[in-house]
Structure 1
Amino acid sequence: MSELARRLNQCKKPVGDQGKVVVDDMNERHYELTGWGLDKIKIDKAYKMLDIGCGGGRTVNRLSKAAEEGEVYGIDYSSDCVRWASEYNKELIKEGRVHISEASVEKLPFEDNKFDVVTAVETIYFWPNVEENIKEVNRVLKKGGKFIIINEIYDDDKFRERNNEFAKNSNMKIYSPEKLKSLLKNAGYLNVEMEIKEENNWICYVSEK
């Protein structure tokens, strides 16, 4: 297995010492990207929010600061990530404002209509059945709630060589802007808005239930 393939596999499901290195790197490297995406919505101080694929826990921490009277939940299907994200947010967990658990987007362990906002930062490439999975996200959103997808890669001619190399060395699925927008609409979301930062190959979707 190549070094690139090993890293991409760790991005999918970080585990062990190498996974910790990758998670710490993502906490730093995705900070600007995440901020760019989150600027597309208004977060009320009492919101209840979910971060899917919470990794090292920095996005959860960031959301909790925006919703200072609300609650933020993070899930990851890597038990190591659950441990690392919990350590990163240990004070907020003690306060009862953050909750981290091991779970998959295939079956979210939450009741219907629970969250005001659900975020997915740099994770949707690895979702096993994306259309069914985004329907599952829809289930746990409140009416009028927002689902935010933030990716640093989308299918584009300018980045095709790099992106093809990523796809070849992993089982990640890189979507075209219109393809993912169509999947969101087909899954029942309303007012699907999309913004691209072309020079970075960044993309953000804000979809409303």
Structure 2
Amino acid sequence: MRDLHGRQLVLDENSFLKKVGQKNDALNNQASKRYHSLWNDQGKLKDNDEAVDTRRQQAQSMTNSFYDLVTDFYEYGWGQSFHFAKLYKGDTFEQNINRHEAFLALKLGLNNNMRVLDVGCGVGGPLREIVKSSGGAHVTGINNNAYQIERCLAYSKRYGLSARTDFIKGDFTNMPIEAQTFDAVFSVEATVHAPRLEMVYGEIFRVLKPGGRFACYEWCTTEAYDENDMTQKKIIHAIEQGNSISKLYSTKQCLAALLSVGFKIIEEGDVAVEDRGTLGPFDGAATVPWYYTLSKPDPGLRGLLRSPWGRRYTDTLLTILHKFRMVPSGVLETSQLLNAAADNLVLGGEMGIFTPMFFFLVEKPLE
């Protein structure tokens, strides 16, 4: 892992060029080619049942390569929480993100006597917010990417939260955790990386204590999605390709997967749906669409970087640096991959065929 990402662990989120610049050229290029090979064949998209099965079989290595490529980009544009949120007017993006995370602690009824699991914890941004908003619950994060786990440990130490956090490097479809270990489980836009949702939901069911609850924001297609519409299908496939998703489930398939492993559904619904005003699409509404953070510049440097203008700037800068071999191989290709993903996330949101925050709260029965 250090061989790929360089000798120095850089925690400053704004030191993007320093982080990507110290990556090993050959190893980063290898990770980039490994990832893209699962999606493209001589310039043609692999989008059939056989290709989906291949990606499902290689989901762990595919997603590990993906996060080796994109983690520095995500911190550059998003900070330490790699997810969307319901965007209330008058609040900053960061305030909306923190509220989105704290909502899970509220729904799970967490307190400082509980042991909690974060499935697919990224670099630990949501996990650390849950510790704070719950009044000190102990939260363990599981993640299969060594670079992200290293960053989790360093951030917890920096913020004085080491005593309330633990981290496990492991496959969340085969967790190295004893059954009935945790009082509660949450996941923020991460379980979508599983080859099949039933695989990760089944493991979550196993490690939960009877009566324990699981709260999640899941990426799904909506009821408006028509797989026979080729325009819509291309948008969804581009979202899958740009985010290391073997195959997106619909909201109905997601709920069926939860029921199939034994969960009882307490609450569910798409929280990405904005509050619409009475005077027009958004006049008088409390929120704006979740995808605005990718289509319009939010205040602040990161808000600009996430916008089309900021992403174009980053891509142009990396194109120049790549030309003069001042960034490792694969970095420019990763920027282009994420730009295409962002554009299609906006399209999916505008068409109402995709949601990054299908919320559910489920319970493991006592018997």
TM-score range, shorter chain: 0.7 to 0.9
> Are the counterparts in 1 of residues 268 and 359 from structure 2 also a CA contact under 8 Å?
yes
Name which of 167, 170, 180 aligns with 2:240.
167
Matched residue type, 2:74: V
Counterpart AA for 1:92:
L
Residue 154 (structure 1) aligned with residue 220 (structure 2)? yes
Q: Pairwise CA RMSD of aligned residues? A: 3.0
Q: Kindly provide the amino acid, as one letter, of the partner of residue 167 in structure 2.
A: I
Larger radius of gyration: 2
Q: 1:139 to 1:29 in 2, by over 3 A?
A: closer
Give the unaligned 5+ runs of structure 2: 1-31, 40-61, 87-96, 227-231, 275-289, 291-354
- Counterparts of residues 59-138 of structure 1 (less than 5 Å): 59-90=126-157, 91-93=160-162, 96-138=163-205
CA contact (8 A) 2:185 2:208 kept: yes
Residue deviations 1:13-55 (CA, integer Å, cap 9, x gap)? 4116x42222452634526356435153322232110111111
In structure 1, what is the equivalent of residue 80 of structure 2? Answer: 27
* Unaligned ranges ≥5, structure 1: none
Cα–Cα, structure 1 residues 78 and 28, in superposed 2: closer, same or farther, change >3 Å? closer
The Cα of 1:142 is off from its aligned counterpart by 1.0
What's the CA shift for 1:10?
Answer: 6.8
Aligned 8 A contact 2:137 2:164 in 1: yes
DSSP 3-state at the match of 2:210: strand
SS of residue in 1 equivalent to 2:85? helix
User: Does the C-alpha gap of structure 1 residues 67 and 154 become closer, same or farther in structure 2, counting only changes over 3 Å?
Assistant: same
Deviates more, 1:176-185 or 1:110-119: 110-119
TM-score, length basis structure 1: 0.81
Higher mean displacement: 116-125 or 198-207: 198-207
> Equivalent pairs: percent with the same residue?
22
Query: Matched residue pairs, number?
Result: 202
Which stretch of the first structure deviates more once superposed, 103-112 or 25-34?
25-34
Return closer, same or farther for 1:87/1:56 CA change in 2, 3 Å cut-off: same
Q: Secondary structure at the match of 2:220?
A: coil
| Bigger strand fraction | 1
Give the Cα–Cα distance (whole angstroms) in 2 for the partners of residues 165 and 11 of structure 1.
19
The reply to whether residue 208 of structure 1 matches residue 363 of structure 2 is yes
Moved more, 133-142 or 75-84: 133-142
CA distance in 1, matches of 2:175, 2:63: 22
